[in-house]
Amino acid sequence: MSSETTQEDAISEAERDRDKSKIQIKTEVTDSPIIGLYVTHDTNADEVAGAILRANRQDFPVVVAHNENPGIEPVSFARQLQVEVVDLAGHSHAENPKDALNELARLSGFPSLIWQADPADRIDFEAITDSIYSFDEYVIDPPTRPDVDSDPHVLVAIPAYNEEATIDTVVREANPYADEVVVIDDGSSDQTSEVAAEAGATVIEHEHNQGYGAALKTAFEEAAKSDSDHLVILDGDGQHDASDIPQLVSEQNSTASEIIIGSRYTSDGSTDAPLYRHFGLFVVNLLTNLSFGVLRPKSWINDTQSGFRAYNKQAIQSLAEDESIGDRMSASTDILYHAHKNDYHVREVGTTIEYELENTSSLNPVSHGVILVSNILKTIEQERPITAMGVPGFVTVFCGLGFGYWTFSNYISTGTFPLGLAIISVFFGLTGLLGCFTAIILHSLQQHLSE
């Protein structure tokens, strides 16, 4: 009887081992604990996505477990975010997902498991990092911090210059979606300030016209002072749809992205811009994305010049302190360079931007385009000297070599030295070498200053 029992126990043990081999956490093991989430069809998928993105931002691996249909929305979101999903069906602790993930994390070699019972909770990663080695238990019930986004303070800022004809409507349309609406009157000569105040806005006046970028900087400073959770920028000419403000704020909450852009060039965005503006925006968008070093169109920001944007608290604070943001219309691009430099996540939400309105931007579109392109090229020269000067210099040197070959070939075949070709060859060669050496020097200086 005892030998039969022993044999049965061995078979049962072998079956359990076989089950465990089928259900594994295959995520690469790191020094950080792995965060475990258990989801059902009732779990809020947006909260799951937010929890995953916040963990990824802090370089904590994540595993999502379920015991239901693998097609449920939280599981689909997890897979789209490239997080490992584990089906606990068949596991000996399937009814107790915390114990199941505990066992799987141990078998995979992770130092510990952070059990996030509710994806809506915001884990205090700083507290975990500071005391990671002081936890006695393998399974950590993480400390959390208050959810500041449960009732976020939304500040809507409207830069305005001589917008008395439209500012009343813009302020009144924005009021229902904001805790406070601030109009930055950039030295208007009309009644913009008075009309905005009557519509219910807080008005900040510049003594003289300083430019769109200067108005934006005032908006960032005001949002930082008021400790706003979200700053939404609207144009004062009525081009933007204020009813889309909740959509931008919601996207920011669910994705934890620092900047959300209301884009006219996403699948659900639209604009009635004339053809020449489309062409101009295409050129500016192309140059801006290439200046980031982003070559894959799928990774591009589709609408780099949309002024309809939402910024979270981190972006507000850093932009309020950044003195490199220009005062003019190029500020929108400067902000994206700031975001790129700080590794901010930028996402786009579809919106409608109208041009067939009276009293829209008075700035000549050609002048505007020249300013933007000049600013982009200047930034490329400063930030990417190898791209801006090294590559063209290298190509120019090869052109010089080509003309040099042509010069000597001509001399050998005719016996006459072609002085014109020789001068062209020397000119291209020296110019190219100068460009290459300048690029190397600027690149070295940039690396030295960044250190």
Residues 60-88: tens digit of each pLDDT? 999 999 988 888 999 998 998 889 999 98
Residue 150: predicted pLDDT: 44
Residue 104 CA to residue 110 CA, distance in Å, equals 9
Instruction: Return the amino acid letter for 346.
Output: V
pTM above 0.95, yes or no: no
Residue 203 CA to residue 184 CA, distance in Å, equals 6
Tokens in use for 215? 């108005």
What tens digit of pLDDT does each residue of 145-164 get?
654 444 578 999 999 999 99
CA gyration radius, the chain: 29
What tens digit of pLDDT does each residue of 374-406 get?
665 666 556 666 666 677 778 888 898 998 889
Query: Which segments of 23-166 does DSSP mark as H helices, in order?
Result: 45-57, 73-80, 97-108, 125-130
> Which strands form 113-116's sheet, in the order they lie side by side?
84-87, 62-66, 34-38, 113-116, 139-140
Tokens in use for 229? 């959770």
Q: What is the mean pLDDT of residues 48-59?
A: 86
From the list 277, 332, 283, 274, the residue with the least C-alpha distance to 304 is 332
What residues pair up with 232 in beta bridges, in sequence order?
A: 156, 310
Residue 10 CA to residue 164 CA, distance in Å, equals 85
- Homologous superfamily (CATH) of 149-383 is Spore Coat Polysaccharide Biosynthesis Protein SpsA; Chain A (3.90.550.10)
SS3 110: coil
For residue 184, CA distances in Å to 156, 173, 181, 201, 248 come to 11, 17, 10, 10, 21
Triad 364, 173, 165: Cα angle to 5°: 45
Residue 381 CA to residue 370 CA, distance in Å, equals 16
What tens digit of pLDDT does each residue of 201-242 get?
999 999 999 999 999 999 999 999 989 999 999 999 999 999
Average pLDDT, the chain: 83
Residue 12: predicted pLDDT: 47
* φ and ψ at residue 204, rounded to 5 degrees: -115, 125
Q: Is the pLDDT of residue 358 over 60?
A: no
Residue 333: predicted pLDDT: 87
Secondary structure of 395-425 as H, E, C letters: HHHHHHHHHHHHHHHHHHHHCCCCHHHHHHH
Residue 18: predicted pLDDT: 42
Residue 379 CA to residue 82 CA, distance in Å, equals 34
Q: Is the pLDDT of residue 298 over 90?
A: no
Q: What is the mean pLDDT of residues 182-205?
A: 94
Residue 418: predicted pLDDT: 87
Domain 2-146 fold is: Rossmann fold (3.40.50)
Length of the chain: 451
Residue 392: predicted pLDDT: 79
Tokens in use for 100? 């199941």
